[in-house]
Structure 1
Amino acid sequence: MKLKKVFGLATGLLAVTLSTQTLAENNWRMATPWSGGPWLERDAQGFVDHVNTLSNGGFNIKLFPGGTLGSALKVTDSVQSGVAQISHNYINYDYGMDPTTALLAGHSSGLTPEEFMLWMYQGGGVELYEQYRLEQFNVVAFPCSILGTEIFLHSNKAVRTLEDFKGLRLRTSGAWAEIASRLGASTVVMAGSEIYSALERGVIDAAEWGSPEMNKPTGFQEVAKYVIFPGIHQSGGVLECEVNKRAWDKLSDQEQNLLRQAGKLSVFDSWLAASYADLDAFEELKAGNNELVELDPSFISAVLKETKAWEDSHAKENTWFAKVLASQRAFKEKIQSWPEYRLQIGKTES
């Protein structure tokens, strides 16, 4: 029997089972930080669609944009309190409570989107993720989207080396704000809505935000001359779905597994869609009026060295940070042989 038929049969049997349950029990609200764009309209909605399909209507999840079910940057609070039964969120918004979130969200560790998926689903990452969120925040969480490699900077100053980076007035946030400061940048935290104006008026020299696809509609390329890559500060990462613990405990094992599998499908879908969209968005940057600048390898090495020092300092005082870091470092050792037998994606000549 073909795999497609097997999957279809399994999905159908699962749907029949779940459709016999009371719909009212699974009328859920989904909180998000997103006001629009691919993370809301494609990724969060895609998860909702997968759940609806797999459950044959056994779940009715209503998706809400950022700010409508509580603070856009405190989605975890909305889920913990039960204002929302589920969310589509970025764990790094809880960085102020625990720096371990940076490891799970993606930081300047060098894990690419593909490596993140391998670590999550084969290297024990997804189990650590769920255990951590449950123990530290009392929510059940699992990956729901993959994050692509970001543009390092939209900048009005060319940055290639560590010397170029020192003194740079940089808009950033989270772990990278700490690490960038240790590397000599002058970091500024501001809302995304303020970045365009700050770049245009010279309040900041540079800003990091997202991948080529995510940056395209912001217009940063219109007010900053240089586009600098690769995004060593955020080479990959994930978005999550969080579920209220009380709502989760009311579900059957089968329903709980359905939500996890819908998350996994959504991760794969988001990787496909975002990776493809990034190709066109980056080509537009190359064809535009900006000057593209590639970071010097010595600077990338400096970033990774400073990141390791930052990791080591947190691991000494934070048990969960140390546990997740050890797992990621073991995975990175394991994957060292990858380029020895795998061709580089997109490489067409020797």
Structure 2
Amino acid sequence: MKIQKVLCLASGIIAATLSTQTLAENNWRMATPWSGGPWLERDAQSFVDHVNNLSNGDFNIKVFPGGTLGSALKVTDSVQSGVAQISHNYINYDYGMDPTTALLAGHSSGLTPEEFMLWMYQGGGVELYEQYRREKFNVVAFPCSILGTEIFLHSNKPVRTLEDFKGLRLRTSGAWAEIASRLGASTVVMAGSEIYSALERGVIDAAEWGSPEMNKPTGFQEVAKYVIFPGIHQSGGVLECQVNRRAWEGLSDQQQNLLRQAAKLSVFDSWLAASYADLDAYEELKSGNNELIELDPSFISAVLKETKAWEDSYAEEIDWFAKVLESQRAFKDKIQSWPNYRLKIGETES
């Protein structure tokens, strides 16, 4: 009887020790570029909540706002170095190191949010994403939020045609900065926190930032008369979760797959939440004091043509760019039949 009690006690001590070790090993810091808003408070936290629920407490992940675990625009560095074991990030912040990031983040005339999800999870995109991040940046990464179609411009000048766009002093970044310059705009890169003041003082004529939901709290609609659609420059995209390579390799296969599944759930959650929030945000713009402008089809065609030229030029130079582009173009060809048998979302019979 005493032996049995001793064995039970020893077993309990070992279990408690193992449990403590597991918690210590997976007591992770999550770096982000976000100072607040839905991407920090909703999307990053949604991923953490899914991990907690699925793992039964094996992970303890704390979310940190931008700038607290390194530079807000260099989150990949924080994960590579181990300052953070995991991140919630935008891959396009690494555009300066490799323009392939633009294809995976979302770019002009790219995939819509729904197309991104189909390509990622059925068309091989998520496998390419993870392989690319491992090979080029030595981190493990996968999509964990979806980005909605953006507003094309908050502008102090009306823009409908290519002629209107030429010479426009435009705040933008990444691939669109290159393509917009090729189309004749005068592009300016600045932090998001500076856009409101720059629009108000006339330092810039126009700015692009995010979807109706994301732009609402910025107040851009208060200092720029015109709101211009559709967001051909960013038709959709994803945010990612990155994991430090050493931390990842310390996990079991089950734990690794758990993180992937939590990310996939978070993509779906973010699509639902952001899509619904955009409906109300757009209606507020529509009923407000701004003038809403729709781009002329000829301008949209010019954007598509210039984007293709931009894509082709990089595909000739960069193997990974060519590989991702080939996969996305094959998917676009495949989905051409979609309108033949699916009703347009939001379309009703008169």
Query: Which TM-score tier does this pair reach, normalised by the shorter chain?
Result: over 0.9
Displacement of 1:38: 0.1
Q: Distance in 2 between matches of 1:7 and 1:62?
A: 37
1:218-242 CA distances to partner (integer Å, 9 max, x unpaired)? 0000000000000000000000000
SS of the equivalent of 1:58 reads coil
Are 2:109 and 2:303, in contact at CA under 8 Å, matched by a contact in 1?
no
Q: Distance in 2 between matches of 1:82 and 1:204?
A: 39
Are 2:108 and 2:232, in contact at CA under 8 Å, matched by a contact in 1?
yes
Q: Distance in 1 between matches of 2:234 and 2:10?
A: 37
1:138-184 CA distances to partner (integer Å, 9 max, x unpaired)? 00000000000000000011101111101100000000000000000
Larger radius of gyration: 2
Q: Distance in 1 between matches of 2:164 and 2:11?
A: 55
SS of the equivalent of 1:20 reads helix
Partner of 1:83: 83
1:182-233 CA distances to partner (integer Å, 9 max, x unpaired)? 0000000001011001101111000000000000000000000000000000
Displacement of 1:17: 16
SS of the equivalent of 2:140 reads strand
Are 1:21 and 1:58, in contact at CA under 8 Å, matched by a contact in 2?
no
1:109-160 CA distances to partner (integer Å, 9 max, x unpaired)? 3310000000000000000000000000000000000000000000011101
Are the structure 2 counterparts of residues 280 and 16 from structure 1 closer, same or farther at C-alpha, using a change threshold of 3 Å? Answer: farther
Are 2:139 and 2:243, in contact at CA under 8 Å, matched by a contact in 1?
yes
Are 2:69 and 2:84, in contact at CA under 8 Å, matched by a contact in 1?
yes
Are the structure 2 counterparts of residues 237 and 11 from structure 1 closer, same or farther at C-alpha, using a change threshold of 3 Å? Answer: farther
Displacement of 1:19: 7.1
Q: Distance in 1 between matches of 2:85 and 2:275?
A: 30
Displacement of 1:12: 22
SS of the equivalent of 1:21 reads helix
RMSD, matched Cα: 6.6
Give TM-score scaled by structure 2 length: 0.94
Give TM-score scaled by structure 1 length: 0.94
Are 1:95 and 1:102, in contact at CA under 8 Å, matched by a contact in 2?
yes
**Alignment map for 1:86-125 (pairs within 5 Å):** 86-125=86-125
**Alignment map for 1:1-350 (pairs within 5 Å):** 22-349=22-349
SS of the equivalent of 1:242 reads strand
Displacement of 1:349: 2.9
Are the structure 2 counterparts of residues 2 and 135 from structure 1 closer, same or farther at C-alpha, using a change threshold of 3 Å? Answer: farther
Unaligned runs of 5+ in 2: none
* Aligned-pair identity (%): 91
Unaligned runs of 5+ in 1: none
Q: Distance in 2 between matches of 1:2 and 1:158?
A: 86
Are 2:150 and 2:211, in contact at CA under 8 Å, matched by a contact in 1?
yes
Are 1:19 and 1:57, in contact at CA under 8 Å, matched by a contact in 2?
no
Are 2:103 and 2:110, in contact at CA under 8 Å, matched by a contact in 1?
no
Are the structure 2 counterparts of residues 287 and 311 from structure 1 closer, same or farther at C-alpha, using a change threshold of 3 Å? Answer: same
Are 2:154 and 2:221, in contact at CA under 8 Å, matched by a contact in 1?
yes
Displacement of 1:4: 41
Are the structure 2 counterparts of residues 331 and 12 from structure 1 closer, same or farther at C-alpha, using a change threshold of 3 Å? Answer: farther
Q: Distance in 1 between matches of 2:236 and 2:8?
A: 32
